[in-house]
């Protein structure tokens, strides 16, 4: 009986030592932290799913309002016939010569609007575009590539517009100072898939073989993005809008731009020397459509970025979830180190779930409220929950208050990181350094070899002041 009692006592003592072991507690905390990455990943997946719903709403509204628009032209499309001998048989094939303007000036004024589909907001725009430019007669080198000469009687002035549903006014283009109505379609041009054109066959001056000037006022609606291909020998593009968050896109950055809270203004000046395609070509030289892709890829413009939506910021905030857990669990661990308090792993687990719940609250509230307000409400809820729980399980009002201060500081620090994207890495690194420095300073006098959590003699207790 005595032996059995001794064995039970030894077993109980071993369990107590294991429970109070610093190494075991750190391993348990590390395991819980890794396990809590699973709900964090689930929240991140939910954020991506909601972003997908947002994109679906954008696509649905764009189908009726207008897609992102990329203007190409105006340019001259002139048919010609090309002979070809195959198996001893002479055949004729219709081809197209593309002549780009010698000068092109585009001025666009974008008026952003917001459309709703359920709880989702989509940014669209109306724009007034003024296009002006001129053509010069094609070089003889282009004529030399054509067997029978260019058929100017079937020539057309073509303007590429990807989504004609966005055209809002009855269009009239001035050709050599005289107004003519534009017709839908591309007149068979292979350079653009859809657009408007003006048949030039019966207009006086075509016999001058392409010389002419044009001017056009275009009212267009679209979504998110507006781009213009710099098809002129010298192209000048100017865009202005009241939208405060532009993203400049395309192969060329604007040579001048001004962005304020009241809107933006930007200008591009592009020479034909840097755009990657000539002033004119014949279609049999471009059988693989390389010139068409080059023209589209050379387009410059602006994207109306919506920084108000909380999805991007919520997704960024979830990436800091592991940091919040490490700091919060580290704070609880220091409570155990500096005063004989033994916390159960379940305490850590419940606090970890509360930290994960913050991101779910932030995601759901930001769909209905401004992001800053949603962030403040989520922070208040989680800080209050964790602080109240800490006060109960630690049995000390001061520790509960200290936990609230630590968490509030962390969430404030994260909010600043979400606002300043350009300096997020720098401030993030400095923040991590400060956290590690604080932990090392507080534990500088701890005797880790003899330390037993929750049960220490005065000789083995840390010398660092309690907190």
* Shared-domain flag, residues 258 and 376: no
Indicate whether 461 belongs to any domain: no
Contacts 24+ apart (CB under 8 A), 412-418: 414/317, 414/320, 414/324, 415/372, 415/375, 415/379, 417/320, 418/313, 418/316, 418/317
Indicate whether 323 belongs to any domain: yes
Residue 451 backbone dihedrals phi, psi, to 5 degrees:
-75, 130
* Shared-domain flag, residues 199 and 147: yes
* Shared-domain flag, residues 189 and 276: yes
Structural domain that includes position 342 = 20-51+310-442
Q: Which residues pair with 233 in a beta bridge?
A: none
**The pLDDT value given to residue 204:** 54
* Shared-domain flag, residues 317 and 235: no
Angle between helices 345-366 and 321-338 (to 10 degrees): 150
Token pair 């630590």: residue: 406
**The pLDDT value given to residue 106:** 92
Asked if 280 and 80 touch (Cβ cutoff 8 Å), the reply is no
Angstrom distance (rounded) from CA 131 to CA 125: 18
* Shared-domain flag, residues 79 and 42: no
Indicate whether 455 belongs to any domain: no
* Shared-domain flag, residues 234 and 323: no
Asked if 123 and 112 touch (Cβ cutoff 8 Å), the reply is yes
Of the CA atoms within 13 Å of residue 105, those in its CB half-sphere come to 6
The residue from 254, 281, 304 where one domain ends is 304
Token pair 């936990």: residue: 403
Instruction: Point out the residues of the chain with pLDDT beneath 70.
Output: 1-21, 83-93, 137-149, 170, 202, 204-210, 284-289, 307-310, 339-341, 421-422, 446-467
Q: Which residues contact 261 (CB under 8 A, 6 or more apart)?
A: 244
Summarize pLDDT for 190-242 with one digit per residue, the tens: 888 888 888 887 675 555 555 778 888 888 888 888 999 998 888 899 999 98
Asked if 98 and 281 touch (Cβ cutoff 8 Å), the reply is yes
Domain count, the chain: 2
Asked if 238 and 267 touch (Cβ cutoff 8 Å), the reply is yes
Assign residue 261 a region (left: φ > 0; alpha: ψ between -120 and 50; beta: otherwise).
Answer: alpha
Angstrom distance (rounded) from CA 351 to CA 385: 9
Asked if 317 and 381 touch (Cβ cutoff 8 Å), the reply is no
* Shared-domain flag, residues 296 and 323: no
- Answer positive or negative: Cα dihedral of 431, 432, 433, 437: positive
Q: Which residues pair with 129 in a beta bridge?
A: 108, 218
The residue from 262, 283, 304 where one domain ends is 304
Angle between helices 397-419 and 424-442 (to 10 degrees): 160
Among 266, 218, 213, CA closest to 240: 266
* Helices and strands of the chain, counted as H and E runs: 11, 17
Angstrom distance (rounded) from CA 383 to CA 371: 18
Indicate whether 231 belongs to any domain: yes
Indicate whether 451 belongs to any domain: no
The whole model's pTM is what? 0.69
* Shared-domain flag, residues 299 and 422: no
* Shared-domain flag, residues 323 and 286: no
Summarize pLDDT for 66-89 with one digit per residue, the tens: 788 889 979 888 887 776 666 656
Pairing label, strands 246-250, 300-304: antiparallel
* Shared-domain flag, residues 298 and 325: no
Residue 84 backbone dihedrals phi, psi, to 5 degrees:
-150, 135
The residue from 264, 279, 304 where one domain ends is 304
Q: Which residues pair with 250 in a beta bridge?
A: 300
**The pLDDT value given to residue 238:** 93
**The pLDDT value given to residue 413:** 83
Angstrom distance (rounded) from CA 379 to CA 410: 10
Of the CA atoms within 13 Å of residue 110, those in its CB half-sphere come to 30
Asked if 452 and 20 touch (Cβ cutoff 8 Å), the reply is yes
Indicate whether 288 belongs to any domain: yes
Angstrom distance (rounded) from CA 265 to CA 282: 37
Indicate whether 452 belongs to any domain: no
* Shared-domain flag, residues 26 and 113: no
* Shared-domain flag, residues 335 and 413: yes
Indicate whether 293 belongs to any domain: yes
Per DSSP, helices labelled H in 395-458 are: 397-419, 424-442
- Residue-by-residue DSSP string for 301-357: EEEE---SSSHHHHHHHHTTHHHHHHHHHHHHHHHHHHSS----HHHHHHHHHHHHH
**The pLDDT value given to residue 117:** 77
């Amino acid at each position: 009986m005595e032996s059995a009692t001794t064995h039970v006592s030894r077993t109980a003592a071993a369990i107590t030592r294991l429970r109070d072991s610093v190494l075991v507690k750190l391993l348990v905390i590390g395991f819980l932290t890794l396990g809590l990455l699973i709900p964090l990943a689930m929240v991140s997946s939910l954020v991506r799913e909601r972003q997908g719903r947002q994109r679906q709403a954008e696509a649905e509204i764009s189908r009726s309002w207008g897609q992102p628009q990329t203007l190409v032209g105006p340019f001259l499309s002139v048919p010609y016939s090309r002979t070809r001998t195959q198996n001893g048989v002479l055949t004729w094939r219709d081809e197209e010569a593309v002549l780009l303007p010698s000068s092109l000036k585009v001025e666009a004024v974008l008026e952003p609007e917001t459309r709703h589909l359920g709880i989702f907001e989509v940014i669209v725009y109306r724009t007034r575009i003024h296009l002006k430019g001129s053509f010069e007669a094609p070089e003889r080198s282009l004529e030399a590539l054509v067997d029978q000469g260019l058929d100017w009687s079937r020539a057309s002035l073509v303007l590429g517009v990807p989504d004609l549903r966005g055209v809002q006014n009855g269009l009239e283009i001035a050709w050599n100072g005289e107004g003519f109505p534009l017709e839908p379609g591309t007149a068979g041009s292979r350079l653009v898939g859809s657009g408007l054109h003006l048949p030039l066959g019966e207009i006086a001056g075509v016999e001058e073989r392409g010389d002419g000037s044009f001017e056009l006022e275009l009212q267009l609606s679209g979504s998110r993005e507006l781009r213009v291909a710099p098809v002129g020998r010298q192209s000048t593009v100017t865009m202005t809008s009241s939208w405060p968050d532009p993203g400049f896109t395309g192969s060329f950055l604007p040579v001048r731009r001004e962005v304020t809270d009241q809107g933006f203004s930007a200008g591009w000046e592009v020479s034909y020397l840097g755009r990657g395609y000539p002033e004119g070509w014949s279609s049999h030289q471009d059988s693989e459509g390389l010139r068409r892709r080059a023209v589209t890829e050379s387009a410059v413009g602006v994207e109306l970025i919506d920084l108000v939506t909380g999805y991007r910021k919520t997704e960024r905030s979830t990436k800091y979830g592991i940091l919040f857990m490490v700091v919060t669990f580290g704070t609880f661990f220091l409570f155990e180190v500096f005063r004989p308090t033994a916390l159960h792993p379940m305490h850590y687990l419940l606090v970890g779930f509360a930290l994960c719940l913050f991101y779910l609250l932030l995601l759901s509230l930001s769909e209905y409220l401004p992001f800053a307000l949603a962030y403040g409400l989520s922070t208040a809820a989680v800080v209050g929950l964790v602080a109240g729980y800490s006060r109960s399980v630690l049995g000390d009002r001061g520790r509960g208050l200290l936990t609230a201060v630590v968490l509030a500081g962390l969430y404030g620090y994260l909010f600043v990181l979400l606002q300043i994207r350009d300096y997020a890495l720098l401030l993030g690194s400095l923040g991590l350094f400060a956290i590690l420095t604080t932990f090392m300073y507080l534990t500088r006098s701890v005797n880790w070899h003899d330390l037993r959590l929750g049960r220490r003699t005065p000789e083995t207790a840390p010398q660092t002041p309690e907190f």
